[in-house]
A and B are shown apart, each in its own frame.
Chain A
Amino acid sequence: TQLLEQSPQFLSIQEGENLTVYCNSSSVFSSLQWYRQEPGEGPVLLVTVVTGGEVKKLKRLTFQFGDARKDSSLHITAAQPGDTGLYLCAGAGSGGGADGLTFGKGTHLIIQP
């Protein structure tokens, strides 16, 4: 059974600060996706990383996939109140598109003005 551990579970910081959240596993994933989920809504895809060591940037968000494809991080620079939300990582196995995603429990992020 593949498991993804996200840390921290909760994070509250001031506007303008930087932060990093982590997604770790003992399993290798063929790709890893980061989502953001608002209460009562479906996860919204932010980014997909596929290659070990890959770094992708989305404005102030930087995503990195570990070299061994077992872990990933999300770094937010100069956090804004609009970044508040639940961030989920999800990994895909080696079965290609047919694979279901394994989700972490998420990081609840609060950015205080």
Chain B
Amino acid sequence: EPEVTQTPSHQVTQMGQEVILRCVPISNHLYFYWYRQILGQKVEFLVSFYNNEISEKSEIFDDQFSVERPDGSNFTLKIRSTKLEDSAMYFCACAVHNEQFFGPGTRLTVL
């Protein structure tokens, strides 16, 4: 069964550094998303992406964040200058219609 994959599984970085989180969505899915989950808290929507552009973004998704689909398979989330409060699990998801399928997540730790 097709799955969403994410790399790396764990990323440790220093405050102020740039990080790029990578996702390979399910191949025939058209909508792509990033979510984050701070430890012990609920899953929060960051951004949705369709037809090579951002469809919707939350208040969390400020100018420090960007997304890209550089080729036909990868979907990336870049955090330009990480802050301590960016430490969280980041989940990629994709959908054909209204069912979203999630990847296993990248645990980002900012020191």
Nearest chain B CB to A98's CB is how many angstroms away? 4
Which A residues touch B48, using CB under 8 A?
98-100
Which B residues touch A103, using CB under 8 A?
42-45
B98–A92 touching, CB < 8 Å: yes
Which A residues touch B31, using CB under 8 A?
97-98
A100–B98 touching, CB < 8 Å: no
**How many contacts A-B (CB < 8 Å)?**
71
Whole-angstrom distance between the alpha carbons of A44 and B31 in the complex? 17
Please, which residue of chain A has its CB at the minimum distance from the CB of B58? A100
Q: How large is the interface on B (under 10, 10 to 19, 20 to 34, 35 or more residues)?
A: 20 to 34
Nearest chain A CB to B52's CB is how many angstroms away? 13
The SS class assigned to the B binding surface is strand
B99–A48 touching, CB < 8 Å: yes
Interface residues of B in 43-85 (CB under 8 A from A): 43-48, 50, 55-56, 58
Q: How large is the interface on A (under 10, 10 to 19, 20 to 34, 35 or more residues)?
A: 20 to 34
B56–A100 touching, CB < 8 Å: yes
Which A residues touch B97, using CB under 8 A?
97
Which B residues touch A102, using CB under 8 A?
45
A98–B56 touching, CB < 8 Å: yes
Please, which residue of chain B has its CB at the minimum distance from the CB of A106? B42
Which of A's residues lie within 8 Å of B, judged by CB? Answer: 30-31, 33, 35, 40-45, 48, 50, 88, 90, 92, 95-106
| Given A48-B99, A88-B43, 9 new contacts (CB under 8 A) | A42-B103, A48-B98, A95-B55, A97-B98, A98-B55, A100-B33, A100-B35, A101-B45, A101-B100
